[in-house]
Amino acid sequence: MNITITGGSGFLGKKLAERLLAANELVGEDGASSAVENLTLLDVVDPPEELKNDPRVTVLTGDITDRALLEKAIPQSTDSIFHMAAIVSAGAEEDFDLGMSVNLDATRNILEICRGNRTKPKVVFASSCAGFGGDMPRIIEDMTARTPQTSYGTQKVIGELLINDYSRKGFIDGRALRFPTVVVRPGKPNKAASTFASSIIREPLQGQTALCPVAPESKMFLASPRSIVQNIVHAHNLTANEWGFSRETTLPGFTMSIGDMAEALRVVAGNDVANLIQWEPDPFIQEIVNGWPPEFDTRKAKDLGFIQDTSMEAVIRDFIDDEL
Amino acid sequence: MNITITGGSGFLGKKLAERLLAANELVGEDGASSAVENLTLLDVVDPPEELKNDPRVTVLTGDITDRALLEKAIPQSTDSIFHMAAIVSAGAEEDFDLGMSVNLDATRNILEICRGNRTKPKVVFASSCAGFGGDMPRIIEDMTARTPQTSYGTQKVIGELLINDYSRKGFIDGRALRFPTVVVRPGKPNKAASTFASSIIREPLQGQTALCPVAPESKMFLASPRSIVQNIVHAHNLTANEWGFSRETTLPGFTMSIGDMAEALRVVAGNDVANLIQWEPDPFIQEIVNGWPPEFDTRKAKDLGFIQDTSMEAVIRDFIDDEL
């Protein structure tokens, strides 16, 4: 299998690359598992040394809006593409043109390059629950309209539509996955409004205080990096027929109040750690979080065999194992 | 008011132009009605003489994919744009690149030109119920997911998403309207699978036989040219606030079986006319029509004051008045 990951040095791209290389197999167009022959990682920054040093890995560093670079990243022999690169929500909101260029135009270029190839590559597209927004029903279902209230969400929904139409036309074999909010992210806080959901676990576990800007009763729809990466591979390996008339799904997640997240941290790491969370309400962040739909019925994903995290405690323990 | 209609020589664009010129008023950004100073009609073919001869009309003939021409059609002084030009369903299915270029890229160019203008133009975008498809619920509601099963439908839904996001960002003041199947279209049958819905009324009224390729119990969601044109103007004249979090709606229509349409023709024009309909089932067309969702609950549009046709008999009488 010749595989390309865009955003291959990103937090999830890197984990996906590690998983594919370790498993050394992926289900091809013919329905059979094959070994990973070449894994191309495209990103603006280099991946870590251990990935670079794997003889199966090709590193391409540069801007995804550069069509020539994309063509190099997706040669005729490409079997599978995991398109993870994106300008995230705050970034696409701040710089509209950059968001359109990376999240929409580059996605379209990838699909066009695939369409021109002899093979019909599988394309797994990382989308987001930011595709939902505004006056939503209490529970978001598979057939709830996507009415995004950010440019990022808009660009992601457009990507889903293109994945569907290019698949229907037989240009690609696509799959689009709407990710829940990912906890626990490693590293530093980013500019996303949801960043506190990881901070309140990650920082206390490392002996640092973390500010929580929302009330304990605020709810979010969450999934762990482990379950998301496993679900990305599962999405790839399903047959086209199993997807049915629509090549998209919301990934399973769990709905939890921030207070219960803090309680899970207390159970796993004790009072001293959990007490490092400082509750400092920020009306601006609170209002944004209040606008996110917390409850999802992901029936399609569950019918298709996608997995869901078992508990917040398990998510925290996995984070400790994987990152600390 | 300086107004531009793309697709201004098309069937609905022409009717809209006539209506705007006759009324000689449109509600501007300030909420007040103003006279029509300039009406630019952009299309690949010239509009009829009576439109060309109106001193308020500027005719621009050419390809909407030509950005320079679009810039000419949307000068800095533009208050309102009615974007009606499109490659229709069968056309966009046959020539994917042409559909993407006209239905997606040209729409985006229009929005970008507006964004660059000093004014914040109102943009009314003609979308379509072809945005719905696949395994749908029995009744399509405002918050039912758009899962189009054609490239035309895909491109129209993307247009709706862009109209929403450009409006949210304050670049334009947009509105997107999903049209039901329009009956009765004047002229000749076109390549749309729905073309028989007009033919079975239009041809018999002119003494010609018409083939009906679907069973009498097949149902469609319909609206007349008169109600659609009135609703286009209404959509324009509503304030931005009235639209709320989403700048889109399905226009009201009526659901009717093909048999009941034929019966309405019998009531209006008599047995001899209605008997000119010949029922010749075509499994290919029947299957396409079976895939269209016939039942819509257009609550949002009704709450916003959009009108609905009163009866098929009235629609047929209006067609006779307007076209024969």
Taking only the tens place, the pLDDT of each residue in B108-142 is 999 999 999 988 999 999 999 999 999 999 999 99
What is the per-residue pLDDT for B137? 93
Question: Using an 8 Å Cβ cutoff, are B169 and A96 in contact?
Answer: yes
Verify that A119 and A238 share a domain, yes or no.
Answer: yes
Give CA–CA dist B115/B176, Å, rounded. 17
pTM to 2 decimals? 0.96
Q: How far does B130 lie from chain A, in Å, by closest CA?
A: 13
The pair of three-digit structure tokens given for residue A112, joined into one six-digit string: 């066009």
Q: Could you identify the residue written with the tokens 């308020």? A: B56
The reply to whether A61 falls in a domain is yes
Candidates A115, A104, A116, A118; CA nearest to A167 is: A115
**Catalytic, out of B125, B132, B152, B306:** B152
What is the per-residue pLDDT for A59? 97
The answer to whether residue B287 scores a pLDDT higher than 90 is: no
Determine the residue of chain A that is closest to B93 in CA distance: A169
Of B93 and B306, which is predicted with more confidence? B306
The predicted complex's ipTM stands at 0.96
Verify that A200 and A93 share a domain, yes or no.
Answer: no
Across B164-180, b (16+ Cβ under 10 Å) vs e yields bbbbbeebbbbbbbbbb
The model's pLDDT over B17-28, given as tens digits with 9 standing for 90+, comes to: 999 999 999 998
Question: B interface mutation test: which of A96, A147, A156 has the most B CBs within 10 A?
Answer: A147
The answer to whether residue B233 scores a pLDDT higher than 90 is: yes
Give CA–CA dist B269/B281, Å, rounded. 24
Verify that B129 and B212 share a domain, yes or no.
Answer: no
Verify that B205 and B275 share a domain, yes or no.
Answer: yes
Three-class secondary structure of residue B166 per DSSP: helix
What is the per-residue pLDDT for B264? 98
Verify that B203 and B115 share a domain, yes or no.
Answer: no
Report the domain count for chain B. Answer: 2
The reply to whether A161 falls in a domain is yes
Check CB contact under 8 Å for A147 and B246: yes
The model's pLDDT over B42-65, given as tens digits with 9 standing for 90+, comes to: 999 999 999 999 999 999 999 999
Verify that B69 and B136 share a domain, yes or no.
Answer: yes
CATH number at residue A84: 3.40.50.720
| Cβ of residue B142 closer than 8 Å to a chain A Cβ | yes
Verify that A107 and A208 share a domain, yes or no.
Answer: no
> Distance of CA A102 to CAs A43, A63, A222, B266, Å?
12, 9, 25, 57
Q: Across all residues in chain B, what is the average pLDDT? A: 95
The reply to whether A169 falls in a domain is yes
Verify that B133 and B35 share a domain, yes or no.
Answer: yes
Three-class secondary structure of residue A79 per DSSP: coil
Verify that B122 and B163 share a domain, yes or no.
Answer: yes
Candidates B231, B225, B253; CA nearest to B318 is: B225
Question: Using an 8 Å Cβ cutoff, are A11 and A226 in contact?
Answer: no
| Cβ of residue A116 closer than 8 Å to a chain B Cβ | no
Q: How far does A56 lie from chain B, in Å, by closest CA?
A: 36
Give CA–CA dist A39/B116, Å, rounded. 42
**Spans of chain A, pLDDT less than 70:** none
List CB contacts (< 8 A) between B148 and chain A: 161, 164-165
CATH number at residue B315: 3.90.25.10
What is the per-residue pLDDT for A191? 72
The reply to whether A299 falls in a domain is no
A152 catalytic? Reply is yes
∠ CA B155-B183-B12 to the nearest 5 degrees?
60
What is the per-residue pLDDT for B47? 95
The reply to whether A303 falls in a domain is no
The pair of three-digit structure tokens given for residue B175, joined into one six-digit string: 């509105």
Mean pLDDT is highest, among A28-32, B29-33, B80-84, B135-139, for: B80-84
What is the per-residue pLDDT for B95? 96
The reply to whether A189 falls in a domain is no
Check CB contact under 8 Å for B143 and A137: yes
Give CA–CA dist B56/B37, Å, rounded. 6
The model's pLDDT over B249-276, given as tens digits with 9 standing for 90+, comes to: 999 999 999 999 999 999 999 999 999 9
Backbone angles phi, psi at B91, to 5 degrees: -65, -45
Verify that A244 and A201 share a domain, yes or no.
Answer: no
Give CA–CA dist B13/B48, Å, rounded. 12
Verify that A14 and A156 share a domain, yes or no.
Answer: yes
The model's pLDDT over B291-312, given as tens digits with 9 standing for 90+, comes to: 888 899 999 999 999 999 999 9
Q: How far does A161 lie from chain B, in Å, by closest CA?
A: 6
Give CA–CA dist A23/A32, Å, rounded. 14
A35 Rama class: left (phi>0) / alpha (psi -120 to 50) / beta: beta
Q: Beta-carbon neighbour count of residue B147 at 10 Å?
A: 25
Candidates A239, A189, A194, A221; CA nearest to A28 is: A239
| Cβ of residue A135 closer than 8 Å to a chain B Cβ | yes
B88 Rama class: left (phi>0) / alpha (psi -120 to 50) / beta: beta
Verify that A31 and A62 share a domain, yes or no.
Answer: yes
> Distance of CA B293 to CAs A39, A241, A311, B140, Å?
44, 23, 40, 7
Residue-range definition of the domain harbouring residue B264: 196-220+254-295+310-323
∠ CA A130-A133-A139 to the nearest 5 degrees?
100
The reply to whether A269 falls in a domain is yes
User: Residue B184's pLDDT band (boundaries 50, 70, 90)?
Assistant: very high
The reply to whether A226 falls in a domain is yes
> Distance of CA A71 to CAs A5, A74, A228, A292, Å?
13, 5, 27, 37
